[in-house]
């Protein structure tokens, strides 16, 4: 096994991402690494698993993509995507010859990145390591992706003590650090940028959304919910929109055609419900900051919302983000229509319940994860001289 070459003049590191949350969570780390051009030769590879949905994020965070595999195809299967990422990444590795590959999270691009690294005896670093739901098919296919990446990776940056414990339970105890989640670094970067309130508010006003009402931000896209669960989720949103006239539901719809089709069929022309295109990251963060609460199945949004002091109702049967549940800032409401309506109504009508879900701080990090990670890289590099 080729060991990380900490003693080299510059360490050659390939950072791989494919989807929206990966770019957001890797952006602060890329910037932190780039502060040390004498120590690290950082190259960034986008697999292109997502296309439109990452374009504005790459430009917002001012990231230079060195390799783009351009792999997105309409509604492509996991198998084809996986095969193409493996083939595409092999070419990048043959050209750049990295000593270390960094992957973040649990997507197909992450799984492929770690497998290509393993096949080529390159060390793998896994960010957001140790998340586990304990259910092989939920989230699907992310739970198994993470477990496989965890078993391959050489360096594990976990976001919490719970995640560290999950790794320990699987006997992964070496090179494990709890650094918090880099998504908190990212949201801090976005919040610094969002100073021109006018632009953001006008964007939503121009879509005829009454911003003086209480806003519920909705997102949903998980594969394990496709079918009846997703129909139930949309029907619940419809009922809530029709029930409360002092509320607007703003739902930027994920571009997955399986999500688009159902969301549009059930929710178009529903009172107080606004379906939008996926929002550019600062617009999403601004909207979240203005919202009353968030109704979502997103992993990243569960982590971000506590930084803006917003309660989260999680439309999933299980969640690997237990930290928010334990802190009381998020609540698992499942995917059944009646329960979603009940829990959303309780938050809208009962101030005591609402208050009990705010002011607990963010259990997912403090905005310093990227610095901690790069400090660990720098330390390991220095120690290799000894
Ligand atoms: C993927 C990840 C999921 C992550 C999510 C974040 C896998 C298996 N799934 O799910 O873990 O939570 O991203 O959003 O890795 N599409 C577009 N434009 C885009 C992006 C997607 O049109 O910019 C459409 C395409 O038709 C594409 C489809 O959405 O084939 C599905 O994309 P894919 O990346 O396979 O899965 P997601 O559902 O986005
Ligand atoms: N996000 C965004 N625009 C949107 C919806 C989400 O920028 O319209 C951001 C959100 O703030 C979070 C990330 O995308 O940082 C979450 O991505 P997603 O929900 O697609 O994936 P998951 O986190 O569930 O893997």
- Ligand 2 pocket test, pick from 185, 275, 301, 302 with the greatest ligand atom count within 8 Å of Cβ, gives 301
Which among 310, 255, 295, 247 has a CA at the least distance from the CA of 279?
255
DSSP letter assigned to residue 14 = E
Residue 9 has what pLDDT?
A: 82
The model's pTM is 0.96
Residue 74 has what pLDDT?
A: 95
Kindly report whether the peptide bond that precedes residue 141 is cis, defined as omega within 30 degrees of 0.
yes
d(CA 45, CA 37): 18
In this predicted model, what pLDDT tens digit does every residue of 231-251 receive, in sequence order? 999 999 999 999 999 999 999
Query: 239-276 burial, b if ≥16 CB within 10 A, otherwise e?
Result: bbbeebeebbbbbbbbbbeebeebbeebbeebebbbbb
Which among 380, 374, 381 has a CA at the least distance from the CA of 9?
381
**Mapping DSSP to helix (H, G, I), strand (E, B) and coil, where does residue 316 land?**
coil
Closest protein CA for atom 2 of ligand 2: 281
d(CA 346, CA 354): 8
Residue 386 has what pLDDT?
A: 59
d(CA 294, CA 252): 12
Do 299 and 315 touch, CB atoms closer than 8 A? no
Q: Of all atoms in ligand 1, which is nearest to the CA of residue 51?
A: 23
Q: Which of 50, 146, 221, 321 is catalytic?
A: 221
Residue 7 has what pLDDT?
A: 52
Percentage of the residues of the chain whose pLDDT score is greater than 90: 94
Residue 5 has what pLDDT?
A: 52
With the CA atoms of 315, 320, 322 and 325 taken in that order, what torsion angle do they form, in degrees rounded to the nearest 10?
Answer: 0
Please tell me the number of the ligand nearest to residue 253's CA: 2
Is the CB of 159 within 6 Å of ligand 2?
no
Q: How far is CA 199 from CA 204, 220, 276, in A?
A: 9, 26, 17
Do 14 and 101 touch, CB atoms closer than 8 A? yes
Q: With 90 as the cut, is the pLDDT of residue 285 above it?
A: yes
In this predicted model, what pLDDT tens digit does every residue of 163-198 receive, in sequence order? 999 999 999 999 999 999 999 999 999 999 997 778
Give the sheet arrangement for strand 273-276, strand by strand.
273-276, 247-252, 214-219, 293-296, 312-314, 330-332
Residue 4's pLDDT band (boundaries 50, 70, 90)? low
- How many angstroms from the chain centroid is the CA of residue 52? 16
User: Which whole number is the average pLDDT over 331-356?
Assistant: 98
Distance between Cα 173 and ligand 1 center (Å):
32
Phi/psi-derived region of residue 22, left when phi > 0, alpha when psi is between -120 and 50, beta in every other case: alpha
For the chain, percent helix, then strand, then coil, each to nearest 5?
A: 50, 15, 35
β 40-46/67-68 pair status: parallel
Closest protein CA for atom 30 of ligand 1: 75
Average per-residue pLDDT in the chain?
Answer: 96
User: Which whole number is the average pLDDT over 269-291?
Assistant: 97
In this predicted model, what pLDDT tens digit does every residue of 35-82 receive, in sequence order? 999 999 999 999 999 999 999 999 999 999 999 999 999 999 999 999
Q: With 70 as the cut, is the pLDDT of residue 134 above it?
A: yes
β 293-296/214-219 pair status: parallel
Q: Of all atoms in ligand 2, which is nearest to the CA of residue 105?
A: 25
Both tokens assigned to 106? 């649990």
Is the CB of 331 within 6 Å of ligand 2?
no
Q: Which of 126, 254, 316, 321 is catalytic?
A: 254
Place of tokens 């991402």: 17
Structural element, H or E, at residue 101:
strand 100-104
Which among 306, 246, 254 has a CA at the least distance from the CA of 75?
254
């Amino acid at each position: 096994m080729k060991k990380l070459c900490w003693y080299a003049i510059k360490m050659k590191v390939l950072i791989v991402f494919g989807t929206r949350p990966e770019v957001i969570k890797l952006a602060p780390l890329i910037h932190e690494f780039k502060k040390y051009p004498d120590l690290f030769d950082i190259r960034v590879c986008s697999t292109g698993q997502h296309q439109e949905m990452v374009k504005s994020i790459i430009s917002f965070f001012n990231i230079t993509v060195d390799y783009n595999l351009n792999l997105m195809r309409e509604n492509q299967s996991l198998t084809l995507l996986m095969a193409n990422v493996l083939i595409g990444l092999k070419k990048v590795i043959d050209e750049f010859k990295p000593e270390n590959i960094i992957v973040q999270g649990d997507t197909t691009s992450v799984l492929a990145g770690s497998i290509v690294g393993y096949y080529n005896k390159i060390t793998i670093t896994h960010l957001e390591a140790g998340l586990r739901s304990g259910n092989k098919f939920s989230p699907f296919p992310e739970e198994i992706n993470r477990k496989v990446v965890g078993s391959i990776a050489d360096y594990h940056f976990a976001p919490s003590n719970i995640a560290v414990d999950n790794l320990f339970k699987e006997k992964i105890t070496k090179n494990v650090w709890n650094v918090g989640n880099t998504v908190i670094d990212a949201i801090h970067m976005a919040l610094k940028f969002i100073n021109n309130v006018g632009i953001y508010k006008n964007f939503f006003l121009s879509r005829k959304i009454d911003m003086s009402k209480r806003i519920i931000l909705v997102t949903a896209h998980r594969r394990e919910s496709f079918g009846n669960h997703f129909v139930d989720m949309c029907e619940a949103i419809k009922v809530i929109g029709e029930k409360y006239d002092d509320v607007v539901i703003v739902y930027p719809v994920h571009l997955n055609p399986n999500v688009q089709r159902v969301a549009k069929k059930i929710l178009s022309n529903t009172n107080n419900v606004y379906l939008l295109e996926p929002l550019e990251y600062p617009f999403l963060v601004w909207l979240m900051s203005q919202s009353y609460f968030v109704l979502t199945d997103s992993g990243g949004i569960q982590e971000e919302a506590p930084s803006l002091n917003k309660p989260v109702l999680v439309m999933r049967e299980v969640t690997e983000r237990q930290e928010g549940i334990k802190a009381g800032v998020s609540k698992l409401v499942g995917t059944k229509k009646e329960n979603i309506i009940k829990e959303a109504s309780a938050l809208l009508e009962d101030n005591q319940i609402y208050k009990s879900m705010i002011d607990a701080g963010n259990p997912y990090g403090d905005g310093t994860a990227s610095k901690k990670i790069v400090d660990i890289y720098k330390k390991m590099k220095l120690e290799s001289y000894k």
